[in-house]
Structure 1
């Protein structure tokens, strides 16, 4: 099935899951944004020089949108500049010193916090975000110098998986650090129940914690990046996207999906429910046989062979019934692939 479950307790809890939180980039979307444009914001430096600075910072980042900037066609011919004092700021972007000047490459929220969000910059950011594109700003200590736009596509499997989750009675909530307009566009297409935008890693964790207010509610979280680690740890069951997930996310999660197909989560839930059903059957079968034997003994109809059957025979029946689970995985996988 391509699902690595790190403990039986998570398989047991799966049948009680009522909420599933999902990261956007790399989980619902393909996680391979493509740079769609760049806009100089009135600086004296040339476009090529600014782009070279941005590419030098982006090449050191593991965020998908930064990788889109570093892997843009025109970036291939650019010689990376030396970056000193490089720092990745969770939920905001990256910064470093290039030619004795500090540069920032990150979100519009970070620009606002740095006091660099002028009216002209805000208008350019709003226009890009309204069209459903992600925005990254290149800034120095004095001004925002260049705006980059990138777009990502939703995986077909994500839409099918979310539909199946709803059919199984599981509500979905999307958690993203991106702008609200971008998140709303993805949420509408994917069909998630709720969507939250412009979240820091700690705020994602707080949303999951809020969903857990009812102690009987099991909440799952799916993510693939370092920013998802706090929410993955907070969730009752954390799912990491194995193929594209960061080492931190995979280490923190309770269940690792060995590829980036979200359809494995409905398969996991179905397997969990089938497992519980077999467990209930086995317990009922074992207790039922013991009860019948007890009644027969009280009626004076017991024998050694009946005792052997009540003990060893019941164990063999329970094991035989449990072996049916070996066929459950392949069947669930075939069902999901056929959908």
Structure 2
């Protein structure tokens, strides 16, 4: 449900279907069928949210459906009734009708949209964006509100060592060497994060009698002395020093998890492990603010960790301890109160909110299959900078579409006026048709070189 680190489960706790057991034996009792599980409810929420989206008809398609029959009928009437009403030969009026028909041909108008959209989609793909249809790219310029997940979206999704406390009587190098020796042999995610952080900086001390205790930690001996790495409640029951308590409280407020090192059941060091935000996130949030987009963090992780990450990223609004249905409810409310709303996430628990949002982004590299399948746009390189890029590309696409449609209609109107005045020739008609088509195609191809800047 979005936690950045494993969650300890004790007797009587609720266990969600689809949870991964880290280590140790797990005994549980089912309280319902699969259809009542959290995973099934997520899938149902996705289907319901997708069905609630209204179909959007394209202006050009509607226009051409009405425009083409009217023009064809008008040319036919002109050819048949012209000689009777205005005099002249049948051949002259058939020629004028053909000129009118060629001039009024909506080719340029019809291709003005798809060529521009395809060009913009190709540009988006080069930037690492998989956009599932031009409609989503066209609408991105209207974005008013963006909800972002925390773990794997704002943060790297890989916990690292943030800080450490070492008892004054113990050399830092010895403590780190022993911690690395034990952590590198453990399969617990927090210990693995500690090992990754210390790798290369220190060398492991040789140990003997290594043993892993499920749900508690690991232990070994070095020169006949017992060393332990793991949970505080397993290591020692002795009172902690005031210095350690103060240090621990500071990092608890930041949402960190702790790994403790003990020698002969006496705590000698503590390590704060937490996820870290991706590089450049602060710049992305500042860019979105300049674009007028309101950003809020919605996460299933604990509130302290969520608020700490939001503060680091420069996001004033943040909510934690959210279940998938909570995210769905919030997104539903935001679409009604904040305007055009979007969601970006990477997990199964984000899928219902992704489906409900007016526009949705999924992390393509770290994201779950359900999130990628549900989202309108997949960010294949997991770079959040692609969100403001998408908005600017959408703005550029909109300008090109307006230019294309205006040029196509404007050229048609000019030559239609000449045709009505009786001075338009077939060559003029061909230029009005083919020339306008080439003009909108060349204008659309400019999007292939488009690099929307901040």
TM-score class, shorter-chain normalisation, is 0.5 to 0.7
For the structure 1 residues 80 and 189, does the alpha-carbon distance in structure 2 shift closer, same or farther, using more than 3 Å as the test?
same
For the structure 1 residues 288 and 130, does the alpha-carbon distance in structure 2 shift closer, same or farther, using more than 3 Å as the test?
same
Give the drift of 1:79.
Answer: 7.5
Q: Would you say the 8 A contact 2:287–2:388 is kept in 1? A: yes
Deviation string for 1:300-326 (max 9, x for gaps)? 221111111111111111111111010
For the structure 1 residues 201 and 148, does the alpha-carbon distance in structure 2 shift closer, same or farther, using more than 3 Å as the test?
farther
Aligned to 2:440: 318
Give the drift of 1:291.
Answer: 0.9
Aligned to 1:230: 352
Q: Which residue among 133, 141, 147 is the counterpart of 1:15?
A: 141
Deviation string for 1:36-92 (max 9, x for gaps)? 699xxxxxxxxxxxx99xx77x6xxxxxxxx44555439x99788999xxxxxxxxx
The 5-angstrom pairing of residues 321-332 of structure 1 reads: 321-328=443-450, 331-332=451-452
The 5-angstrom pairing of residues 36-47 of structure 1 reads: none
Aligned to 1:167: 290
Q: Which has the higher contact order (CA 8 A, sep 6+)?
A: 2
Aligned to 1:127: 249
Aligned-partner Cα distance in 2 for 1:184–1:301: 72
Aligned-partner Cα distance in 1 for 2:323–2:449: 42
Aligned to 1:196: 319
Q: Structure 1: give runs of 5+ residues left out of the alignment.
A: 39-50, 59-66, 84-122, 138-146
Pairs aligned (count)? 262
Q: Which residue among 368, 381, 391 is the counterpart of 1:246?
A: 368
Q: Would you say the 8 A contact 1:239–1:253 is kept in 2? A: yes
Aligned-partner Cα distance in 2 for 1:205–1:239: 15
For the structure 1 residues 210 and 133, does the alpha-carbon distance in structure 2 shift closer, same or farther, using more than 3 Å as the test?
same
For the structure 1 residues 171 and 129, does the alpha-carbon distance in structure 2 shift closer, same or farther, using more than 3 Å as the test?
same
Aligned-partner Cα distance in 2 for 1:168–1:36: 33
Aligned-partner Cα distance in 1 for 2:415–2:347: 56
Aligned-partner Cα distance in 1 for 2:395–2:295: 19
Quick check: 1:157 aligned with 2:280? yes
Aligned-partner Cα distance in 1 for 2:314–2:193: 30
For the structure 1 residues 218 and 301, does the alpha-carbon distance in structure 2 shift closer, same or farther, using more than 3 Å as the test?
same
Deviation string for 1:121-164 (max 9, x for gaps)? xx99x936643024599xxxxxxxxx996312222321111111
Q: Structure 2: give runs of 5+ residues left out of the alignment.
A: 1-126, 165-181, 197-203, 216-244, 260-269
For the structure 1 residues 228 and 68, does the alpha-carbon distance in structure 2 shift closer, same or farther, using more than 3 Å as the test?
farther
Aligned-partner Cα distance in 2 for 1:252–1:3: 15
Aligned-partner Cα distance in 1 for 2:348–2:211: 28
Aligned-partner Cα distance in 2 for 1:80–1:6: 48
Aligned-partner Cα distance in 2 for 1:136–1:23: 23
Q: Would you say the 8 A contact 2:255–2:308 is kept in 1? A: no
Aligned to 1:31: 157
Q: Would you say the 8 A contact 1:133–1:150 is kept in 2? A: no
Q: Would you say the 8 A contact 1:134–1:179 is kept in 2? A: no
- SS of match in other structure, 2:328: helix
Aligned to 1:266: 388
Give the drift of 1:196.
Answer: 1.1
Quick check: 1:213 aligned with 2:336? yes
Q: Would you say the 8 A contact 1:37–1:150 is kept in 2? A: yes
For the structure 1 residues 280 and 36, does the alpha-carbon distance in structure 2 shift closer, same or farther, using more than 3 Å as the test?
closer
- SS of match in other structure, 1:154: coil
The 5-angstrom pairing of residues 87-126 of structure 1 reads: none
Give the drift of 1:226.
Answer: 1.8
Give the drift of 1:189.
Answer: 2.2
Aligned to 1:101: none
Q: Would you say the 8 A contact 1:133–1:149 is kept in 2? A: no
Aligned to 1:304: 426
For the structure 1 residues 163 and 8, does the alpha-carbon distance in structure 2 shift closer, same or farther, using more than 3 Å as the test?
same
CA RMSD of aligned residues (A): 3.5
